[in-house]
Amino acid sequence: MTYLTRATAAVGAVLAAAGLLAAGPAHAAPRDRLTGNWLHLTVVKGESGNGPTRSTLLLCDPPRGGHARAAEACAELAATGGDIGRIPPEHVFCPALYSPVAVHAHGRWNGRPVDFRQTYTNTCVMNAHTGAVFALDA
């Protein structure tokens, strides 16, 4: 059984708008058709990893896609060569609230594959360590 989530539909809409989906029978768009720097970003809330999920495609040549802060996220990624783990953490005070958030990014940056996974104790900590990259809400 196949389920189509809003996130999957949004990624499909972005790919269609970018002209990356071919007309005809329903087929998954091959990721190798995407050029330049791009990441498919997913944020899942909840301890078991099956909570509310947000997902989008970030295209960075030029910054576009369904990401609310695409230009800022692309600039942060460009400064680290696409390595999300090297984004300098912000010095902010985050509450000691345990509300886990799991993030995943996969795609290509400067011709190299990107696969980043991390779980943070809450959204504030996630934002402090990843900047605008996983800030999928406006």
Residue 135 is assigned to a structural domain of this protein: no
Cβ-contact 136, 67 below 8 angstroms:
yes
pLDDT at residue 102 in the model: 95
For the domain that residue 106 is a member of, what is the CATH number?
A: 3.30.350.10
Residue 72 is assigned to a structural domain of this protein: yes
79: left (phi over 0), alpha (psi -120 to 50) or beta: alpha
Residue 15 is assigned to a structural domain of this protein: yes
pLDDT 10s per residue in the chain (138 long)? 333 344 444 445 444 444 444 333 333 444 456 778 999 999 999 877 678 899 999 999 888 878 889 999 999 999 999 999 999 999 999 999 999 999 999 999 999 999 999 999 999 999 999 999 999 875
Domain count within the chain: 1
Residue 137 is assigned to a structural domain of this protein: no
pLDDT at residue 29 in the model: 45
Residue 64 is assigned to a structural domain of this protein: yes
Burial of 101 (0-12, 13-18, 19+ CB in 10 A): buried
Sign of dihedral through CA atoms 120, 122, 125, 126?
positive
